[in-house]
């Protein structure tokens, strides 16, 4: 299962991406804005992987009982 530290890193990447996107939008820096959106997309994929890992762990645990 995905551990707490990985989940926290992935959430931090999302928040950082939001900040970059906002800063890019505020300053008119389209590259920074796009980088922020890319960071958010990457984070979303990682968070989805965390959820899949957690679900697989729960299924595995249900067979142990």
Domain boundaries, the chain: 4-64
In tens, the pLDDT along 19-39 reads 999 999 999 999 999 999 999
Q: Would the pLDDT of 63 be above 70?
A: yes
Separation between Cα atoms, residue 38 and residue 46, nearest integer Å: 12
pLDDT at 58 over 90: no
Average pLDDT, the chain: 93
**Mean pLDDT, range 51-61, rounded to an integer:** 87
- The answer to whether the CB of 43 falls within 8 A of the CB of 22 is no
The pTM of the full predicted model, rounded to 2 decimals, is 0.82
Q: At residue 65, does pLDDT exceed 70?
A: no
List, as one string, the DSSP characters of the chain: ---HHHHHHHHHHHHHHHHHHHHHHHHT-HHHHHHHHHHHHHHHHHHHHHHHHHHHHHHHHHHH-
Residues 17, 20, 24, 29, CA torsion sign: negative
């Amino acid at each position: 299962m995905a551990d707490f530290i990985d989940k926290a890193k992935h959430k931090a990447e999302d928040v950082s991406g939001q900040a970059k996107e906002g800063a890019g939008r505020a300053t008119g820096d389209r590259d920074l804005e796009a980088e922020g959106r890319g960071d958010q997309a990457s984070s979303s994929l990682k968070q989805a992987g965390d959820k899949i890992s957690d679900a697989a762990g729960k299924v595995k645990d249900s067979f142990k009982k």
